[in-house]
Amino acid sequence: MQPVNKSLASSTLSTRGFFITLALALPITSHLHADTLAFITNQQANTVSVINTTTGKLLRNISVGKEPAGVTTSTKLKRAWITTPGDSSISEINCNSLETGKSIVAGEGPLAIIVDDQRELLYVADWYKDVVMAITIDPLEIVNTVNVGRSPSGLALSPDNTFLYVSNRDDNSLSEITLNTFTVTRSTATQNRPFGIAIDKLHNRLYSANVMSNSVNVIDLEKMQSIAVIAVGDRPYDISFAGQYAFVSNQYDNTVSVIDTEALKVHSEIEVGDYPEGINTLPDQSQVYVANWFDNTVSVIAADTLEVVNTIDTDDGSRAYGDIFITGCGT
């Protein structure tokens, strides 16, 4: 049988009047260079919420395309880039002005996105065309494409910018792309439906959240081989690291599993909001932000006490899938 046409369904969601009113009513607070900002994509509201992490408060909601989902940020280039699968586009946000700038139509289903500061390129996984695109930043232009596995879902860069890793959700595999040649050089199998991936820099390992196996694969990046499988909560989605812990968002359990990366065992579980999705660690490693899709909030977890210390209202359908923090912007 032929595969089903996977081009994106046209969405019919509209921004709700309530959220427009809310956004207009919010005070536009300024932010300082020392502050770290968080960029939270809100898929239902078609906005990005910008949070000042110093105050733990929402700065404003910015309208961006249709169904914003993926996000990546560059402190060096002072911008965030947002994927909007609903209109197959990528848009940039200037972190000083907090205004949208250039945008580009990129493939059919751009979801995961990650910026390469050194090469000044964006890498974007196209869920439908099973490719990863390389896109220049100024101007936004697709300059290279590489075939990967089916439904590429998560992206991670090696700390030395040599390799890009991709989770192929519907092939149950991970691909390694060597960036100098932009070719797939190695791959390895995971459990069922790997989605979010992240690199444990302390041990040079990659973790994949396997949505349908309720597990995490731990991959030794030297050997490109799984060395452990750790059971987590229901429908794990995304992963972030702080200190010796890995934090895994479990969509159906409304929890975050905390994994001890030395023992390779679950240390504890933290209750967060409903349908936790994108999860990220502040650059200073002090807090972990997780976006709660159902609740339209972000739960802030203290990385040392492993307790939720703040819950911040965002906008409808928060996902925050990717790297969300930038430091050093201001007006």
- Rounded to a whole number of angstroms, the minimum distance from the CB of residue 98 to another protein is 25
User: Which range of residues in 11-19, 49-57, 183-191, 282-290 is near another protein by CB under 8 A?
Assistant: 11-19
- Tokens describing residue 175: 């691909």
DSSP-derived secondary structure letter, 13: -
- Pairing type for strands 325-327 and 36-42 reads antiparallel
Under the binding rule (CB under 8 A), the answer on residue 17 touching another protein is no
Specify the residue, 3 or 139, whose C-beta has the smaller distance to another protein: 3
Under the binding rule (CB under 8 A), the answer on residue 12 touching another protein is yes
Under the binding rule (CB under 8 A), the answer on residue 9 touching another protein is yes
DSSP-derived secondary structure letter, 128: T
- Tokens describing residue 149: 């596995």
Element of type H or E holding 82: strand 79-84
Phi, psi of 26 (to 5 degrees): -75, 140
Under the binding rule (CB under 8 A), the answer on residue 34 touching another protein is no
Specify the residue, 153 or 261, whose C-beta has the smaller distance to another protein: 153
- Rounded to a whole number of angstroms, the minimum distance from the CB of residue 193 to another protein is 8
- Rounded to a whole number of angstroms, the minimum distance from the CB of residue 294 to another protein is 6
- Rounded to a whole number of angstroms, the minimum distance from the CB of residue 85 to another protein is 8
Rounded to 5°, the CA angle 307-311-316 comes to: 135
Under the binding rule (CB under 8 A), the answer on residue 308 touching another protein is no
Question: What is d(CA 276, CA 111) in angstroms, rounded to the nearest whole number?
Answer: 17
Count of CA atoms in the C-beta half-sphere (13 A) of 242: 21
Site string for another protein, 196-235 (x = CB under 8 A): ----------------x---------------------x-
Question: What is d(CA 299, CA 110) in angstroms, rounded to the nearest whole number?
Answer: 26
Phi, psi of 17 (to 5 degrees): -50, -40
Torsion 235-304-114-46 (CA) sign? positive
- Tokens describing residue 168: 């192929």
- Rounded to a whole number of angstroms, the minimum distance from the CB of residue 4 to another protein is 5
**Near another protein by CB under 8 A: residue from 237, 241, 247, 275:** 275
| Cα first-last separation, the chain | 56
Under the binding rule (CB under 8 A), the answer on residue 123 touching another protein is no
User: Which range of residues in 1-9, 176-184, 213-221, 320-328 is near another protein by CB under 8 A?
Assistant: 1-9
Under the binding rule (CB under 8 A), the answer on residue 86 touching another protein is yes
Under the binding rule (CB under 8 A), the answer on residue 181 touching another protein is no
Q: Can you state the percent helix, strand and coil of the chain, rounding each to 5?
A: 5, 55, 40
User: Which range of residues in 6-14, 20-28, 154-162, 197-205 is near another protein by CB under 8 A?
Assistant: 6-14
Q: Using CB under 8 A, list all residues that contact another protein.
A: 1, 4-13, 43-44, 67, 86, 109, 127-128, 151, 169-170, 212, 234, 252-253, 274-275, 293-294, 317
